[in-house]
Structure 1
Amino acid sequence: MSNLRIALTTGDDDGIGFEVTAKALHKIGPQKGIQFILWRNDSASTKYLKLIDQKFERIVVDSLEEALNIEGPYLIDICSDLSPAHWVELSAKACMKKQLQGIATGPLSKTLIKDAGFKDLGHTDILKRISKTKTVHMGFAGSEFNVVLATGHLPVAQITKHISFSTVAEALINADLLRQALPKSQRSKPIGVLGLNPHAGEQGMIGSEELMVFPNLASFAKEKGIPFVGPLVPDAAFFKDNWKKYSVYLCLYHDQGLIPFKMIHGQDSGVHISLGIPFVRTSVDHGTAKDIAGKNKANPNSMIDAIKWAINLTRQQA
């Protein structure tokens, strides 16, 4: 049986992406049935290449096309002069052709994506464009709890315009994908859906969004066989005693989910998973951290988790 192939994109050249990827690969080591294809540029630190070489037999090539022609127990190292934004685009196209089974991405700045000539605002928009997927949700898996965002990078003033039954129902379907990928002990628990307003609206006294969404959402969830609880009161949902009650928290806007997630898991752990695209994509849950690049200070834990999740999800889907 051929190896499952996972591309590792290391992001901005002057960020910590290559450092955390090298450290993660050294920690994880070779995995049975998995071939890693590593994207990096020619300025990548020799020190971290040697770290990879302690665990892997590495073959250097110039392009993804060349990498895909190599079979065997090797790590394929693409030393590329393309923009890191193109690494993501080419890897996504290869996933759509079934030449790759997944991607684990390092941090990529929006400025670099723009400089590459793309109109996309981030990884997710690149993936949506290539896969022609209309609705993709950001999921975040952590050691303490998991979060899915019903809406993305919206200005606060526009959030209520995007909250509807259909929006939350689509997000619930994708949140259920994450639930089903969790260990058995977690996936048996319901998805907790947060309300939008303080006190989850107090039956319409503090906003009407909950009344417009949740009665229909309850019947929709029952029809689809999705275990569901909500609306949860936002300011109490993330009390520690509640973490193990839910398989996933479905949050209605970006900061409602990511402030508690990052407060608890920090900047160096947790995994971002793209939900709704037809292939596996995981990512670190931190930025490029250019202020510590080259100082050997970067914590690889998030990339370790991202690669492990990519391995597990590709195996589940094989």
Structure 2
Amino acid sequence: MKRVSNASLKLGCKTNATNLSFVSMSKLRIALTTGDVDGIGFEVTAKALHHLGPQKNVQFILWRVDGADSRYLKLIDKKWTRITVDSLEEALKIEGPYLIDIASDLSPAEWVEISAKACLQKKIDGIATAPLSKTSIKEAGFKDLGHTDILKRLSKVKHVNMGFVGEKFNVVLATAHVPISKISKSLNFTVLAEALKNADGLRKKLPPAQSKKPIGVLGLNPHAGEKGLIGNEELLLFPQLLNFAKENKIPMEGPLVPDAAFFESNWKRYSVYLTLYHDQGLIPFKMIHGQDSGVHISLGIPFVRTSVDHGTAKDIFGKNIANPHSMIDSIRWAIKLARL
């Protein structure tokens, strides 16, 4: 069943496809998944869509729970003609400058999986995702730990890295959700080389002034190991990695001393920081950028996926105080990358 709504049409008005006046096909289709139903995902996505308004040659497909907060639907309708359907299959039949709104009874994890499969089948051009908790993924029956693991499984790609683009600096994580006790064992030349390749792919997509700068690779240990006095991972890994970078014409510097790498004076020195574990990169990134900017980009998969750089924030669910800036930037980056 299709329902059409905008500022001049009654919400929930039912119509048939034959009653819709279509125009030429949009060049890009971007799916927006709104994450946990008791998180801020739908709020920030609605606010982002209201802020951005319709984008030239782009059609958005919005996944949200059936019965979502009506105040955010009304906010969307101030800028958009919204057509509500029940499935992605039905959404893909609709052409034109509409926001296609999927009111779904599936789990949020399934929205991501279905959208990713559609990307792989070239039916849509990218995904921008709101936060999805690991608990929600598990409750859906998935074995994956997060968005990245879902995308890795579906893409059948072994090395996928989390990249974060911010106003001040950019970060790529060599490893993701690995316990601190297992980080050293998870690092080897192949892992770092593949992460460096993915970081270089991000570097090349940055504006020219940034893309000309090297990738700064952090050491693992305090003081980057002090030539083996505080751990030997740097001595074992970096000579080979530097040779790999030279052979592949990847501009790289490292190992950088972790506690000094993110001094403000270094932000403009590097195009991207490649950090060796999750918190080594995300603590400074989130401390500096907060919720005002920051986009998560999945690197290494064969399609575009961007996301916010924050969590579900269930403590402020329903309070209408969530900051949409990261979602706004995420959608903009999804469009930008899909057009490259």
What interval of TM-score do these two structures reach, taking the shorter chain for normalisation?
Answer: over 0.9
User: Is residue 153 from structure 1 mapped to residue 172 from structure 2 by the alignment?
Assistant: no
CA distance in 2, matches of 1:34, 1:91: 16
Residue 269 (structure 1) shift = 2.8
Residue 250 (structure 1) shift = 0.2
Which residue identity does 1:142 align to in structure 2?
A: G
User: Is residue 96 from structure 1 mapped to residue 112 from structure 2 by the alignment?
Assistant: no
Alignment partner, residue 60 of structure 1: 84
CA distance in 2, matches of 1:180, 1:309: 14
Q: Which runs of 5+ in 1 are unaligned?
A: none
For residue 78 of structure 1, give the secondary structure of its aligned residue in structure 2.
Answer: strand
CA distance in 2, matches of 1:268, 1:120: 29
Conservation of the 8 A alpha-carbon contact between 1:21 and 1:303: yes
- Number of positions where the alignment pairs a residue of Structure 1 with one of Structure 2: 316
Alignment partner, residue 34 of structure 2: 10
Residue 230 (structure 1) shift = 0.6
Per-residue deviation, residues 107-137 of structure 1 (Å, max 9, x unmatched): 1111111111111111111111111111110
1:113 aligned residue (128, 134, 137): 137
In the TM superposition, 1:263-278 aligns within 5 A as: 263-278=287-302
Question: So what's the TM-score if we normalise by structure 2?
Answer: 0.91
Alignment partner, residue 217 of structure 2: 193
Conservation of the 8 A alpha-carbon contact between 1:268 and 1:285: no
Q: Bigger relative contact order, structure 1 or 2, given CA contacts below 8 A and separation 6+?
A: 1
Conservation of the 8 A alpha-carbon contact between 1:268 and 1:286: no
For residue 199 of structure 2, give the secondary structure of its aligned residue in structure 1.
Answer: helix
User: Is residue 31 from structure 1 mapped to residue 55 from structure 2 by the alignment?
Assistant: yes
Residue 207 (structure 1) shift = 1.3
Residue 43 (structure 1) shift = 2.0
CA distance in 2, matches of 1:180, 1:150: 18
1:212 aligned residue (211, 214, 236): 236
In the TM superposition, 1:34-49 aligns within 5 A as: 34-49=58-73
CA distance in 2, matches of 1:101, 1:254: 28
For residue 311 of structure 2, give the secondary structure of its aligned residue in structure 1.
Answer: coil
Alignment partner, residue 163 of structure 1: 187
User: Is residue 77 from structure 1 mapped to residue 101 from structure 2 by the alignment?
Assistant: yes
Larger Rg: 2
How well do the aligned residues superpose, as a CA RMSD in angstroms?
1.0
CA distance in 2, matches of 1:55, 1:186: 34
Per-residue deviation, residues 140-166 of structure 1 (Å, max 9, x unmatched): 111100000001111111111012221
User: Is residue 138 from structure 1 mapped to residue 172 from structure 2 by the alignment?
Assistant: no
Q: Which runs of 5+ in 2 are unaligned?
A: 1-24
**Distance change in 2, residues 1:26/1:2 (3 Å):** closer
Aligned structure 1 segments of 4 or more residues deviating by more than 2 angstroms: none
